[in-house]
Every structure is written in C-alpha cells, then in structure tokens.
Chain A
Amino acid sequence: MPRLPRERVVSLVEIEGLDVRLDGRPVLSRIDFRIDPGEIVTLVGPNGSGKTTLMRSVIGAIPSAAGRIRRRPGLRIGYVPQKLHVDTTLPLTVGRFLSLPVRIGAASTRAALEQAGAGALLERQMSELSGGQFQRVMLARALLARPELLILDEATQGLDQPGSAAFYRQIETIRDETGCAVLMVSHELHVVMAASDRVICLNGHVCCHGTPEHVSSAPEYRALFGTGTGGALALYRHDHDHRHDPDCAHAGGPGHDHPRAGTERTPG
C-alpha cells in the first residue's frame, strides 16, 4: 500500500501523552500514537498490556487521565469488538442485527455480508453462529458504517489457523478496495500480519514500534516475547497467487526457531 508523504496527511487519530487509569490502577502511560488514512497498524503485547484499553480509548469508550486524543472531525469508525456475547434470550437475525442502530436497506446489508464473506447468513440467528461466522458478521456490520478506520480487537480469537489466515486476507482485500485504515490487536503474538504497515508493541507504554521487520528484531520486543519463541517473530505472509496448506500454516511455536524471522517466510 503506497503511503502518502507524512506532511500532507491529516491523521485519522492522533494521541499524545495519553494516560489511562482503570479503577485507579494505571493501565496506559505516556502513549503517543497516530494512525493515518489507509494504513494497517497492528498492536501486539502480552496479556494485560493495555491493548484493548488503547482501542477503547481510540473509540472514546474510556476517559483519559491525562493527554490528548484527537480524532479527525466526522471520522467514521467501524469497530469489531473482542467478544460480543449475544444472549440466547434475545432473538436476533443477522439481518436485523446489521440494522442496529440505524436501519439499513436490504441491498446494502447483502453487499456488506458479501464483502465480509458471510453472504449466506442473512436469515440466521445471531446466537447460533459459529465463531468464524460471527466474526464475519461483525466485520460486515463494521463495514456498513463505510469506515475510514476499521478497528478489530482480537478479531481472530477462537478461529483456527486457516480461519485466521482467511480472515486476515479478507481484511487486506477490504483495505485495498475501500482505502480504509485498519487498527487491530493481535493475540497471536507470533502471527503478525505481514500486511501491517506498522506494528506497535505495547506493555503499558509503547515499547517499540515500526515496520513488522523492525519490531521483530527490536530488543524491547525480544525482551517481552523472546523467551517463549527463542526470540522469533514469525510473520504471516501470503501472496495472492498461492494458498497456504492449512496443515502447514503454523507460525513460530516453541520448537520452531526462526533466527531471522523478520525476513523469512512461514512454511506453507
């Protein structure tokens, strides 16, 4: 994805010196962060490092203790939350769900479901969807806002490896088609999408950030995640002219040493 030169770009979201406390406990401190139109930014970090908190700050769900969050005026955000439990007591078809809170025409509903790869699910009950189907419906819902910024919080949680890979491909296609920026949290520390323009490694503060290759070789990253994987960050890469064999599409688990993982391909 070609990036516009910095000086001509008005950032979608710009955060300066952000501190966030939850129940008096500091969760984020001195965060500087920005996301520009059309770029894919991935947040990684250990459990409890404040990834979800930062996302929720970006959408304005959490008040900040200090610092500034500037959203571009009128910014349209599409948000796919980490998990959304639809109670079985609530009868809700996929079609009706997509029309909340704003009524959407049938044509747009179908188009969004198609774009998210969930075209057949229109009449299904939300509480009966599988994990992967559910995430695609959530993605369709986010797309209906015609977002300039698409936010995904661990959207591949509960998906198996091929499922995640297919989902990531869908995201990249959507970015290429619509030009929206993408901000996502990955819980798969070792499977950072290679399509990311930038990776931000978070641990209460920004440990390091940069291109996926840069972060994977940064000492701060290795200090955080190094022990489990022998310091390896495997990048999930794909080309559009071949498919990963699902059985081989593993990435940098223990026993898979990738000394220079930033530049190497996941077997597949």
Chain B
Amino acid sequence: MSLLDNFLIRAALAGLGVALAAAPLGCFVIWRRMAYFGDATSHAAILGVALALAVDLPIFGGVLLCCLLMATLVSGLTGRGHGSDTILGVAAHSALALGLVAVSLIPGIRIDLSSYLFGDILAVGRADLAVIWGGAALILGLLGWRWSRLLTATLNADLARAGGIDPGREERVLTFALALAVAVAIKVVGALLITALLLIPAAAARPFSRTPETMAMLAAGLGAAAALGGLRLSYLADTPAGPTVVATAAGIFAFSVSLAALRRRARRD
C-alpha cells in the first residue's frame, strides 16, 4: 500500500472521510437547531483528551466517552426551566476551560494542545485513517438505517409518536452519532472547528435542495470539495490545514448564498 505512505494522500483520505460523514449529520444539526449543542459536545473533547492521557486510554475512546457524557448531560438539563441557549453556553465554555485545565494538570506529559484544538491532519497515520473511515461508515450507516425515523422525529415529536416512533430514542441516536463524529474529526479539524465542518456544507447546500435527501447528498459533496480544496490550498499557501479546510467551506457557503440571492432576483424580474 505505497499510496498510503504519502502523508498528503492520507490527509486527503482523512478529510474526505470526515467530510462525507459530517455533512449529512450536519443537516440534522441545522434542522434541529442544534448548532450550540454541537459546540458543547465538541468542546468536551478536550476534556476527553485529558482523560485519555491520564488513564492511558486511546484518545478516540476518551473523546467519545466525554462527548457522550456531555451530550447526555446537556440534553438532560435543557427543558428543565433554564433557557437552552444558556445551558449550552455554560456547558460549551466550561467544558473547554475544564479540558484545558485538566490537560495542564497531567504530570510528565507536554502535549501540543493546538493539534487537538485545531487538528493535525498532516500527521494522520494509517491507524487514524482506519478509525476515521470506520467511524464515518458507522455514522453514515446509522443515519441511513434510521433516516425516515430521524426525519419524522425532527419534524415533530408528536407526529413521530403517532407513527410509532420514539422521538427520544431518535434523539439519542443523533447524540451518539454527533459524539462519534467529534471523536473521529478531532484529528482532522480539532475540537474548536468540528461544528464548522458539520454546519457549513449543510448550510451551503440548503438553497439548492428541495428535499432532505438532496440536501444531505449535496452537503456531502460540498464538504468533500471543501476538504480536498482546503488541503490543496493549505499546501500551496503553507497555511494550517484544519482552519484552511473550514475557510474553504466558508468560501463555498458565501458563493452558494450569493448564487441563491442572484437566482431569486432573476426569478422576480
């Protein structure tokens, strides 16, 4: 497998895997207005890194565990009298701060925090690739398997119940998929920018979609384009890879929104 010996090829494959899984999941994040929920979950990843280092667990496992705990905690706390944006704001920033403190407390290890905050896609190894593509396949499989149920529960909880669907269970499925996405993506774009990879391709796909399915597929395509294009740009301009990928996605979003506005105006005239 000489192809995988090239770090740029590995980086491209890692970016592609994360983008393909993140984009359809990101559609649900947008439809359910869970952007801050995504932030709170992904910021807990740093706490997971600290935990993993402290007890000598694989980083992936620690991050997945912490993200799941945080997501469960936040969904438990919202809807109990506090405004959910308040809860999410408190949780997101506390998790990040606690994570940073916890990492500094681990004795004997000097780690490069920025690689966890902003990703280190060029350092992706073969084992990382396996984790990323395995996780991505799991997320896509999960979403595909429950697609109709997830959509119905997203549309309206009572409508779902009347159709024999437990909206709470579908919410837990999404929560799990989200935690998994964070654990998979932390190596690629880092804890601070994961939500961007979820949201931006999906948001860019929205104006050109008439059904949820087209939006999810278009988002996956745009996410993949952002990942590959961003990597290429970062190579050419010698800029950090993770942020460049997100910046490229932002560029695609700006282009999509402008195009949609132009199209609307053309239709009105």
Contact = CB atoms under 8 A, between A and B. Distances in A.
A133 interface: no
Interface stretch (A42-50, A85-93, A161-169): A85-93
A79 B155 contact: no
Given A100-B148, A101-B148, A86 B162 contact: no
Contacts of A244: none
Nearest to A81: B158
Interface string B18-39: 0000000000001101000000
B4 interface: no
Interface residues of A, number: 24
A96 B156 contact: no
B159 interface: yes
Contacts of B161: 59-61
A73 to B, nearest CB: 14
B212 A101 contact: no
A59 B152 contact: no
A266 interface: no
B145 to A, nearest CB: 13
Interface stretch (B68-76, B87-95, B185-193, B203-211): B203-211
B160 interface: yes
A77 B158 CA distance: 12
A60 B164 CA distance: 10
Contact of B165 (A91, A92, A96, A101): A101
A101 B152 contact: yes
A108 to B, nearest CB: 16
A91 B206 contact: yes
A81 B159 contact: yes
A125 interface: yes
Interface string A49-73: 0000000100111000000000000
Interface of A: 56, 59-61, 77-79, 81, 84, 86-87, 89-93, 96-97, 100-103, 125, 145
Given A61-B162, A84-B156, A92-B155, 15 more contacts: A59-B161, A60-B161, A61-B157, A61-B161, A78-B162, A81-B156, A81-B159, A87-B33, A91-B214, A92-B211, A96-B212, A100-B155, A101-B149, A101-B165, A102-B148
Interface of B: 30-31, 33, 148-149, 151-152, 154-163, 165, 206, 209-212, 214-215
25 contacts: A56-B158, A59-B158, A59-B161, A60-B161, A77-B162, A81-B159, A86-B155, A87-B31, A89-B31, A89-B206, A90-B154, A91-B206, A91-B210, A91-B211, A92-B155, A92-B211, A93-B211, A96-B211, A96-B212, A100-B152, A100-B155, A101-B148, A101-B152, A101-B160, A103-B148
